[in-house]
């Protein structure tokens, strides 16, 4: 998979891809992440990329020309499955969306800033708009990192068996059951006996019952 991320602040997104699991995914060639500084497609000697909104109002608007030039150049090099605009008014990211995007080959993420982008960019190029939740960030960059992380960890070979994405919360519309590790007792707090029993069938049943109980308690809305 290849992800091209367009932003005025690409440096904000470097470390997540230089650390731990995402770093290894990139090193193994399972994911390619390319950053594009939007100012490289800016106009005039002032490197302008934003301007005042027509009709007035507070805040600046990201101009169509630099974004169109950048996206058009990328599109001339390969076919993209989706061109995604990260925006608080997009569709809220879910595990289902991450799953769907994880089987694509080439993606563009466009990070918004200021008041947003000229509507004509959305009409011309954008195929999907994604938000990571009902709150407002200073820009789309952190959301782009969240989206990329949720997708890349699903690519075959990125996680090992112990980290398997198949047992994630949400993957089967259930939250994860409680987990424990040594010691079996700490300051009088004990691990449920069943987990120490060695009876794998009983343990599996218990884990499923606990997952169900916790989902009913915390997130009944995600149950089928």
Check if the beta carbon of residue 174 is closer than 8 Å to that of residue 211.
yes
Q: Binding site for S-adenosyl-L-methionine: what residues are annotated? A: 112, 132-137
Query: Minimum Å distance from CB 182 to ligand 6GU?
Result: 39
Q: Which residues pair with 33 in a beta bridge?
A: 3
Query: Minimum Å distance from CB 12 to ligand 6GU?
Result: 12
Q: Binding site: what residues are annotated? A: 112, 132-137
Distances (CA, A) of 210 to 45, 175, 220, 222: 62, 9, 14, 15
Q: Does 66 bind ligand 6GU (CB under 6 A)?
A: no
Binding to ligand 6GU (CB under 6 A) within 139-198 occurs at: 139-140, 143
Helix (H), strand (E) at residue 96:
helix 95-101
Helix (H), strand (E) at residue 3:
strand 2-7
Among 132, 145, 152, 158, binds ligand 6GU (CB under 6 A): 132
Q: Does 22 bind ligand 6GU (CB under 6 A)?
A: no
Residue among 125, 2, 110, 120 nearest 75 (CA): 125
CB atoms < 10 A from the CB of 140, how many? 30
Comparing CB distances to ligand 6GU, the nearer of 11 and 204 is: 11
Comparing CB distances to ligand 6GU, the nearer of 61 and 174 is: 61
Contact residues: ligand 6GU, CB under 6 A: 86-88, 112, 131-133, 135-137, 139-140, 143
């Amino acid at each position: 998979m290849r992800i091209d991320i367009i932003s005025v602040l690409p440096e904000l997104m470097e470390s997540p891809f230089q650390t731990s699991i995402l770093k290894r995914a990139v090193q193994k060639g399972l994911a390619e992440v390319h950053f594009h500084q939007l100012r490289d497609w800016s106009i005039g000697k002032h490197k302008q990329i934003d301007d005042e909104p027509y009709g007035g109002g507070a805040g600046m608007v990201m101009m169509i020309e630099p974004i169109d030039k950048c996206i058009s150049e990328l599109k001339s090099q390969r076919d993209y499955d989706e061109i995604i605009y990260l925006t608080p008014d997009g569709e809220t990211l879910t595990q289902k969306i991450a799953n769907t995007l994880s089987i694509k080959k080439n993606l563009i993420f466009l990070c918004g800033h200021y008041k947003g982008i000229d509507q004509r960019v959305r009409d011309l190029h954008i195929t999907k708009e994604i938000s990571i939740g009902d709150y407002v960030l200073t820009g789309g960059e952190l959301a782009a990192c969240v989206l990329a992380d949720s997708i890349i960890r699903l690519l075959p070979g990125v996680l090992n068996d112990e980290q398997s994405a198949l047992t994630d919360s949400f993957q089967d519309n259930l939250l994860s059951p409680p987990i424990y590790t040594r010691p079996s007792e700490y300051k009088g707090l004990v691990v449920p006996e069943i987990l120490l029993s060695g009876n794998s069938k009983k343990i599996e049943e218990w884990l499923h019952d606990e997952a169900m109980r916790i989902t009913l308690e915390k997130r009944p809305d995600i149950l089928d």
